[in-house]
Amino acid sequence: MHRVLLTGGPALLREAYARIIEDSAFLTVQAQIPELAHALAQLPSARPDILLIDAMALAPSPNTTTLLSLRRAAARTTLAVIGDTPAEDVDPLLRAGVTGVLDRQMEAAPFVMALDLIGRGGTVVSSPSTGTRVAAAPPSQMLDQLSTRERQILTLVATEPDNSTLAHLLSISPLTVKSHVNRILRKLGASSRAHLVSIAYESGLVSPGLPAGRAFSR
């Protein structure tokens, strides 16, 4: 479970992010601190797994002093920025140690999966100007044990809501889909369907921000 410290931006937005995070299976809100400077000062004692910064706290553009503060913070925790980040600011943020640059328009599920991937050591950049780029967490051999068909189904499990939809897309019965999903659960040692979704994003099999079904064609 990744502990997320929220900072910057309007209180209502922070509260909205907090509700989404608390509704997830693998994230929790550690605290909300309105001011970025105060949040950075709290890092040595707070020790969150992820510091989620509203981009408004960096506006209009992160200056040298701010980037230096972020670089120091990145030595203590994982940093992610969410909001309207200009394309020219993305690379300076990444060089400062930020591993998540997220679009404010992301839907709840991709937002949660992106934070989970970031918390596991991956890098996610998702914005209207850059599209979505994902560098998966350190490679795992866990998917090697899946057949091609099982990988296809794992991809669809992460992007489609139920077995009936999967069955329709694959032209097989829902019972057959259920059998495949149960076999994948056993092979990967996953505890639930939500755990499979997390594995699909963590491994880079599915990219946060992709619409349902698109990842299937990769």
**Residue indicated by tokens 């950049």:** 125
**Residue indicated by tokens 């990967």:** 188
Tell me the per-residue pLDDT of 113-142, one tens digit each, with 9 for 90 and over: 889 888 877 788 886 655 555 555 544 567
On the question of pLDDT at 111 being above 80, the answer is yes
Residues 21 and 4: beta-carbon distance below 8 Å: yes
The residue with greater pLDDT, 39 or 161, is 39
On the question of pLDDT at 78 being above 80, the answer is yes
- 119 and 151 co-located in one domain: no
Boundary residue ending a domain (70, 100, 135) = 135
pLDDT of residue 210: 44
Percentage of the chain lying above the pLDDT 70 cut: 85
Boundary residue ending a domain (135, 166, 185) = 135
| CATH number, domain containing residue 55 | 3.40.50.2300
- 20 and 128 co-located in one domain: yes
Query: Which residues are CB-neighbours of 147 under 8 A, at least 6 positions away?
Result: none
Nearest to 67 by CA among 99, 97, 33, 34: 97
- 43 and 115 co-located in one domain: yes
Question: 28 has which bridge partners?
Answer: 3
Boundary residue ending a domain (71, 104, 135) = 135
Say how many CA atoms lie within 13 Å of 33 toward its Cβ: 18
Average pLDDT over all residues of the chain: 83
Model-wide pTM > 0.85 = no
Pairing label, strands 123-127, 98-102: parallel
- 62 and 131 co-located in one domain: yes
pLDDT of residue 141: 64
pLDDT of residue 217: 34
pLDDT of residue 175: 92
Number of domains in the chain: 2
Domain limits for position 131: 2-135
The residue with greater pLDDT, 13 or 87, is 13
CA distance 34 to 145: 46
- 111 and 94 co-located in one domain: yes
Question: 54 has which bridge partners?
Answer: 82
**Strand locations in the chain (E):** 2-7, 27-33, 50-54, 78-82, 98-102, 123-127, 131-135
Cα 34 → chain centroid: 22
| CATH number, domain containing residue 156 | 1.10.10.10
pLDDT of residue 35: 95
Tell me the per-residue pLDDT of 166-203, one tens digit each, with 9 for 90 and over: 887 777 899 999 999 999 999 988 888 888 888 877 77
Helices 163-170 & 174-188 angle (0-180, nearest 10): 110
Tell me the per-residue pLDDT of 156-172, one tens digit each, with 9 for 90 and over: 887 766 888 888 777 78
On the question of pLDDT at 209 being above 70, the answer is no
Model confidence at 20, pLDDT cuts 50, 70, 90, reads: very high
